[in-house]
Amino acid sequence: MAESMTGLKRTHRCAELGISNIGEKVTLMGWVQKTRNKGGLLFLDLRDRSGIIQVVFDESKVSAKLMDKAATLRSEYVAAVTGEVSKRGGAVNPDMLTGEIEILPEELRILSEAETPPFPIESDSKTKEELRLKYRFLDLRRPDLQKNLMLRSKVARIAREFLSDEGFLEIETPMLTKSTPEGARDYLVPSRIHPGSFYALPQSPQLFKQLLMCSGYDRYFQIAKCFRDEDLRADRQPEFTQIDMELSFVNVDEVLDVNERLLAKIFKDTLGVEITLPIRRMTWQEAMDRFGSDKPDLRFGLELVNVSKVVENCGFSVFSNAIAAGGSVRGIKVIGQGEMPRKKIDKLVDFAKDFGAKGLAYLAIGSDSSIKSSLVKFLTEDEIASLIKAMDAKEGDLLIFAADSDKVVWDVLGNLRIAIAKQLDIIEKDVYKFVWVTEFPLLEWSEEQNRFTAMHHPFTMPFEEDIKLLDSDPGRVRAKAYDIVLNGSEIGGGSIRIHQTDIQEKMFEALGFTKEEAQERFGFLLNAFKYGVPPHAGLAYGLDRLVMILAGVDSIRDVIAFPKVKDASCLMTEAPGLVEDKQLEELGLEITR
Interface positions with ligand ASP (CB under 6 A):
182, 204, 206, 493-495, 538-540
CB 559 within 8 A of CB 551: yes
CB 445 within 8 A of CB 475: yes
The DSSP code for 478 is: B
To the nearest whole angstrom, how small is the minimum distance from the Cβ of residue 481 to ligand ASP?
8
The DSSP code for 497 is: B
CB 221 within 8 A of CB 244: yes
CB closer to ligand ASP, 462 vs 493:
493
To the nearest whole angstrom, how small is the minimum distance from the Cβ of residue 424 to ligand ASP?
33
Tell me phi and psi for residue 381, to 5 degrees. Answer: -60, -40
CB closer to ligand ASP, 184 vs 553:
184
CB closer to ligand ASP, 403 vs 454:
454
CB 434 within 8 A of CB 485: yes
CB closer to ligand ASP, 68 vs 254:
254
For 164-169, which contacts have Cβ atoms below 8 Å and span 24 or more sequence positions?
166/219, 166/258, 167/218, 167/219, 168/219, 168/220, 168/221, 168/245, 168/247, 169/217, 169/219, 169/220, 169/221
To the nearest whole angstrom, how small is the minimum distance from the Cβ of residue 584 to ligand ASP?
33
Give the other-Cβ count within 10 Å of 137's Cβ: 10
Give the other-Cβ count within 10 Å of 199's Cβ: 18
Say whether 264 sits in a helix, a strand or coil. helix
CB closer to ligand ASP, 263 vs 305:
263
Distances (CA, A) of 74 to 32, 36, 124, 185, 482: 7, 10, 22, 48, 54
CB closer to ligand ASP, 17 vs 540:
540
To the nearest whole angstrom, how small is the minimum distance from the Cβ of residue 492 to ligand ASP?
8
- In b/e form, how buried is each residue of 454-472, taking b as 16+ CB within 10 angstroms? bbbbbbbbbeeebbebbee
Say whether 538 sits in a helix, a strand or coil. strand
CB closer to ligand ASP, 221 vs 410:
221
CB closer to ligand ASP, 76 vs 246:
246
To the nearest whole angstrom, how small is the minimum distance from the Cβ of residue 77 to ligand ASP?
45
To the nearest whole angstrom, how small is the minimum distance from the Cβ of residue 160 to ligand ASP?
18
CB closer to ligand ASP, 244 vs 397:
244
To the nearest whole angstrom, how small is the minimum distance from the Cβ of residue 504 to ligand ASP?
15
To the nearest whole angstrom, how small is the minimum distance from the Cβ of residue 482 to ligand ASP?
9
Question: CA-CA-CA-CA torsion for 414, 417, 422, 424, nearest 10 degrees?
Answer: 180
To the nearest whole angstrom, how small is the minimum distance from the Cβ of residue 261 to ligand ASP?
18
Helices (H), 272-380: 284-291, 308-311, 317-324, 342-354
